[in-house]
Structure 1
Amino acid sequence: MTTGSIRLYSYWRSSAAYRVRIALNLKGIPYETMPVHLLRDGGEQHSAPFSDLNPQELVPVLLHGSRILRQSMAIIEYLDETWPTPPLMPATARDRQRVRAIAQMIACDVHPLNNLRVLQFFEKTWNVPQAERDTWVRHWIQVGLDAVEDTLCDHPSTGDFCDGEQPTLADCCLVPQVFNAERFGVDMAPYKTIRRVVQNCLALEAFQAARPENQPDAPAGSGGN
């Protein structure tokens, strides 16, 4: 299937957009990045042109021709169903359930608690100091990564990647969450299996090209921070 016109509305440091960039790169699908600055002028995601694309006022949004696609997990599964090679889901129902479970542990249970809009609410509505906000973020990331590590460690389905010997939806979610963990100063030493899997992912060009510091809207000298 030909790709047609694909545009990804993205912010360089958004972990949800990061997931979709990885998936697009793994599929070898060319796309145009449409930067949405989540901080400038109160957040460009709140502007009328973007809120028309996504009433949630969140990135990412993917345009495939005239189709408007929202929510990173749903976008990735759309990509996998539309361009099935290489697959981002295992062949068996049991293994697909495991991959979805790992991905949802991150995307549904960890990521929302350290999302920008949550932290902005703490700051602007409750006047929570920066140090306390950072403590909140680290706590919930650690709780989540503890569970992911236990899920991956010594499991027979865990290979070079979260499930088997090629990247899946789970890896698309794990790598951005580890980026967030490192950004907020989480001690990654206890997470031996996670660190090994992420190292294997980042050895692939598809993951490297998706890194935040390699995006066209990344600030000069961002270095991933």
Structure 2
Amino acid sequence: MILYSFFNSSTSYRVRIALALKGLAHELRTVDIRAGEQYAGPHRTLSPVGGVPVLVTDEGEVITQSLAILDYLDRIAPQVPLYPADPVQRAHVLELALLISCDIHPLNNLRALKYLADPLAVGPEARSAWYAHWIAEGLGAAEVLLQRRGSSTYCFGDSPGAADCCLVPQVANALRMGCDLTPYPRVQQIHATCLSHPAFQAAAPERQPDHRP
């Protein structure tokens, strides 16, 4: 398999965690989204939206959305499950994963922030306020969902899964942007637990070959 990734892309980070959890061998190829390489001809052919991650399977199939990639990985390597078998428990995992992937990330990703800056001419202070607002909205909801589920080691149960793959990169983004996480003790607890896990450590942005300040 080939994974097209960028060290600071939270969606790529999700997939790197899942690959590490499952121990799946893959080739990593860097796409510098800060430099706009995601919009260049060769990569745009792979990703119609112009983004990362992109996974090319051993059979040459191209998958371009992080949660679709996680689902694919779970089907081909079910021995380390990212989703529970129980329908209700699986729905709860997806509930949190989709909250992060659909309600927080799209409003705060690089494309959205660049559009706020140009052409909308929103200044840095207002952009930071925008970012912090959607983090508070989203992580506030995530905290409620996690509190409802009790005090398990990870988001759902005693082993990490798809929800943790999504939560940790989103918290990393929030910390990088200086957001206050004190209102979310459960989120912080799970984040700290995940960071002690070898798979999360291997997938971390600072461990990637293209990492830079």
TM-score by length of 1: 0.92
Structure 1 unaligned spans of 5+: 1-5
Output the CA distance in 2 between the equivalents of 1:33 and 1:132: 36
| Aligned counterpart, 1:175 | 168
**Which one of 205, 209, 212 corresponds to residue 212 of structure 1?**
205
Amino acid aligned to 1:115: N
**Which of residues 111, 118, 135 in structure 1 aligns to 2:105?**
111
- TM-score normalised by L of structure 2: 0.97
1:5-44 aligned at under 5 Å gives the runs 6-40=1-35, 43-44=36-37
Alpha-carbon deviation of 1:154? 4.8
Q: Which of the numbers 158, 163, 166 marks the counterpart of 1:165?
A: 158
Partners of 2:77 and 2:171 in 1: CA distance: 27
Identify the residue that residue 84 of structure 1 maps to in structure 2.
78
1:193-221, CA deviations, whole angstroms, 9 ceiling, x for partnerless residues? Answer: 111111111111100111111111111xx
Runs of 4+ aligned structure 1 residues displaced above 6 Å come to none
Could you tell me how far 1:30 is from its partner in structure 2?
1.5
Pairing 1:58–2:51 present: yes
| In structure 1, C-alpha distance between the alignment counterparts of 2:109 and 2:130, rounded to whole Å | 11
Structure 2: gaps (5+ residues): none
Deviation at 1:89, TM superposition (A): 0.7
**Could you tell me which residue of structure 1 aligns to residue 96 of structure 2?**
102
CA contact (8 A) 2:74 2:81 kept: yes
1:155 Cα deviation (Å)? 2.4
Kindly tell me the number of residue pairs found equivalent between the two proteins. Answer: 212
Instruction: Work out the CA distance in 1 between the residues paired with 2:136 and 2:207.
Output: 26
3-state SS, counterpart of residue 87 of structure 1? coil
In the alignment, structure 1 residue 142 sits paired with structure 2 residue 153: no
Quote the RMSD (CA, aligned, Å).
Answer: 0.9
* Letter aligned with residue 25 of structure 2: P
Shift of 1:91: 2.2
